Chains A and B, each alone.
Chain A
Amino acid sequence: MTTNIRYKSRFMKSEESEDKQYVGFATLPNQVHRKSVKKGFDFTLMVAGESGLGKSTLVNSLFLTDLYKDRKLLNAEERINQTVEITKHTVDIEEKGVKLKLTIVDTPGFGDAVNNNECWKPITDYIDQQFEQYFRDESGLNRKNILDNRVHCCLYFIPPFGHGLRPVDVEFMKALHEKVNIVPLISKADCLTPNEVKKLKDRVRDEIEHFGIKVYQFPECDSDEEEEFKQMDKELKECTPFAVIGSNTVVEARGQRVRGRLYPWGIVEVENQSHCDFVKLRNMLIRSHMHDLKDVTCDVHYENYRAHCIQEMTSKLAQDNRTDSPLPILPLPTPDVETERLIKMKDEELKRMQEMLEKMQQQMHEKDQ
């Protein structure tokens, strides 16, 4: 794992420097590592897309477990008027002493009904709910054990059978791009030849830009990173959206047992980089950018939500003149934009009234004369 290698090498270097000048805070990364291992990590991943695109298979392949053991799939008849549900699966997995509490949020029924108007509404409501819950917990008195259920990443599955994004894809991503990190994926990529994959990726990228959808952007790497890392990063960026294939089965290929799909004309290996971008997705999602996804969720999406929420609340308070509030409001150090605007309005009104009074006084004065 590249991250491990990175700071270990720094650690080695600092040991070699002179003892007199050695302060010792270069061990901070180690301490962070120890503490975080003890604390454990959590990650919430949402998968969204029409049924039959391989979402569950991909999740199983990503985390090498079988999360969807007893799933009930609906018939076409039952799906005509289906509504979108939100289901959560939580698993605790451990690797080399590092514990990860993984929550997968599934959205069965998305895009399955005949009339899919606003089928993304339950999903946006769910995300907002998680934000709201975290907001309350954070503003509460006892903040020791806050459960972070906020959705850190949303994998959106684009069907490979079309020529690009469909209206329902565009609408969904536009409704969610400011609430959660969206990572678009081209699913079931084993029905596309390499040329077709490239064409579709270009098409999807163009359409995403055209519609102004803000998908998750990989952070720029610092200039002092290693070349290998920079190269990887560049490749990663050029590869979006990832074309993935998932598999629940293990097959024998080239003398090894690999995850793959067996066809009469060949075997598709899930972890073969020339077959699909599964490895890149896994690296990005788990090995290098998991924490960045969490950070963006906390720093950008959640903060937006919080600011929006507080603004709404204070404007409501100003209107209703209520002393009690649903949440304890801390005295704001800077005047709120709302109140400032109100004050300005009132000032203008006063000015106008003063002018009118002067005019009237003048008129009366003239009359008297």
Chain B
Amino acid sequence: MAATDVDIFSNEEKRNLSLGGHVGFDSLPDQLVSKSVTQGFCFNILCVGETGIGKSTLMNTLFNTMFENEEASHYQNGVYLRPRTYDLQESNVHLKLTIVDTVGFGDQINKEESYKPIVDYIDTQFENYLQEELKIKRSLFNYHDTRIHICLYFISPTGHSLKSLDLVTMKKLDSKVNIIPIIAKADTISKSELHKFKIKIMSELVSNGVQIYQFPTDDEAVTEINSSMNAHLPFAVVGSVEEVKVGNKTVRARQYPWGVVQVENESHCDFVKLREMLIRVNMEDLREQTHARHYELYRRCKLEEMGFKDTDPDSQPFSLQETYEAKRKEFLGDLQRKEEGMRQMFVNKVKETEGELKEKERELHEKFEQLKRMHQEEKKKVEEKRRELEEEMNAFNRRKVAAETLSLSQPLKKDKDKKNRSVKTENQSGVNLSNSKVMMAKANMEPLNCQSWWQAIQCCTCLVHSDAWRQGLF
């Protein structure tokens, strides 16, 4: 946007005019200042370093206050970030300070994934800001900006060089946030070692292409101090909140059996330099850099990912709205196509199942018919059999009656013969009549002892002797 503005201005005629008197627009910066003072400032610091390296102590020392902090344990499973927001006030300036701590950094045995939570957190803050920017109804002026303005990277004072974890992490972070490397617990390194250590660190950073924050040297007011400070990077700091009496003053210091390390003594450590640079001189520049450089980079990458471009294939300037419209059409088209596809699928499926169901119905019908036929056949057979049985029974009855009448009128011998013959014939007519044979045999042996018709039916012997049977009513 700035580029196009400049173009517009350069196209128009620019004339330098001199003023006849004091107009008064030199108060513009003051207006700006008073406006921003009433608005309040916000600043976000990210502290990255191993557990116990002195991050919380340094924050307490820098801002001269006790932020509440519990000691972290070494046994975290992974790295997680802990943001804390505080409201500070100095003279009439309000500062909304957010300090983000990395808990568990450097403690795991496998540290390959340690940088991820940090990068994710920074990206999330950018994303939130981007979302707010792209909103229809947005309120950027009172949006709580949580983007990280500065990352203080705490280097362990080994005296040799950077650790491998430091290098890997800083490489991942340098394009997303302003990094200032700091040598922590610097009271364990002597002056000569410190000099060598600093040179080694800087050369390693340069040779690996890590871009740390350079204090700006384009503003004449601060260029001198900034460029001299740039040469002192990384700052070797010592933090302390305890006060020790030195001479006749009470200063913040660390008391050792062999001496007292004063925090604000420039010959002891670079704490004063860090405070100057971070808070007193370059805080606003850090915020600007975050917004103008790191955030813009993130935004550009994100929007390009989503498919937005600044120029279309004909390299005509493309506005965001058009891109948005095009995207939207595309998206809707996609949606429609998908809907169509799904509908087709649905219809096909329905057809299939319909066909299947019809098939099944037909089969069932067939089966039913088959069963019916079988049933009818069986019925016929049974009917036939019944008829046969009935015929036989009738035949038997007739013969029996005939045999009986014969036996009554003729002598016993002939009876017996006839009986035998009749019995034989009866036997010949099948198994069904064996019962009758038994009944006859029983009848000749056992006496009659039934009184009623019903009982007679139950009792075979009676049946043979009853009049009804004799008369052939059965």
Q: Which residues of A contact B (CB under 8 A)?
A: 50-53, 73, 75-77, 79-80, 82, 112-117, 119, 159-168, 171, 188, 190-191, 193-194, 261-269, 272, 274-275
Contacts and interface: CB of A to CB of B under 8 A. Distances in A.
A61 B73 CA distance: 33
B258 A267 contact: yes
B160 A115 contact: no
Contacts of A275: 257-258
Contacts of B191: 262-264
Interface in B136-191: 156-168, 184-185, 187-188, 190-191
Interface stretch (B215-223, B261-269, B308-316, B330-338): B261-269
A114 B52 contact: no
Given A116-B109, A163-B73, A51 B158 contact: yes
B74 A164 contact: yes
Contacts of A272: 257-258
Contacts of A193: 254-256
B236 to A, nearest CB: 12
25 contacts: A52-B160, A53-B158, A75-B204, A76-B161, A76-B164, A76-B167, A80-B164, A80-B168, A112-B164, A114-B112, A114-B165, A114-B168, A115-B109, A116-B109, A117-B109, A119-B109, A162-B50, A162-B51, A166-B107, A167-B109, A188-B157, A190-B188, A262-B190, A265-B259, A274-B257
A170 B260 CA distance: 34
The 4 closest A-B pairs by CB, nearest first: A52-B158, A266-B259, A162-B52, A191-B188
A191 B57 CA distance: 14
B15 to A, nearest CB: 56
B208 interface: yes
B69 to A, nearest CB: 12
Contact of B161 (A75, A159, A194, A267): A75
B22 to A, nearest CB: 53
Given A167-B107, A263-B190, A266-B256, A79 B163 contact: yes
A274 B258 CA distance: 9
A163 B73 CA distance: 7
Nearest to B107: A166
Interface of B: 50-54, 71-75, 107-112, 156-168, 184-185, 187-188, 190-191, 204, 207-208, 254-262, 267-268
A40 B370 CA distance: 110
Contacts of B207: 77
Given A80-B167, A112-B163, A167 B108 contact: yes
A119 B160 CA distance: 21
Given A52-B156, A166-B74, A264-B268, A77 B110 contact: no
Contacts of B74: 162-167
A269 B164 contact: no
Contacts of B260: 265-266
A77 B450 CA distance: 121
B73 A261 contact: no
B257 A194 contact: yes
A305 to B, nearest CB: 26
Interface centre among B50, B156, B204, B256 (most CB of A within 10 A): B256
Given A77-B204, A77-B208, A163 B71 contact: yes
Contacts of A76: 161-164, 166-167, 204, 208
Given A113-B164, A162-B53, A191-B157, 4 more contacts: A77-B208, A114-B165, A166-B107, A266-B256
B185 A161 contact: yes
Given A117-B110, A267-B258, A269-B258, A163 B157 contact: no
Contact of A163 (B51, B208, B257, B267): B51
Contact of B112 (A50, A115, A163, A190): A115
Interface centre among A51, A167, A265 (most CB of B within 10 A): A265
A204 to B, nearest CB: 11
Interface centre among A73, A114, A190, A261 (most CB of B within 10 A): A114
Nearest to B242: A193
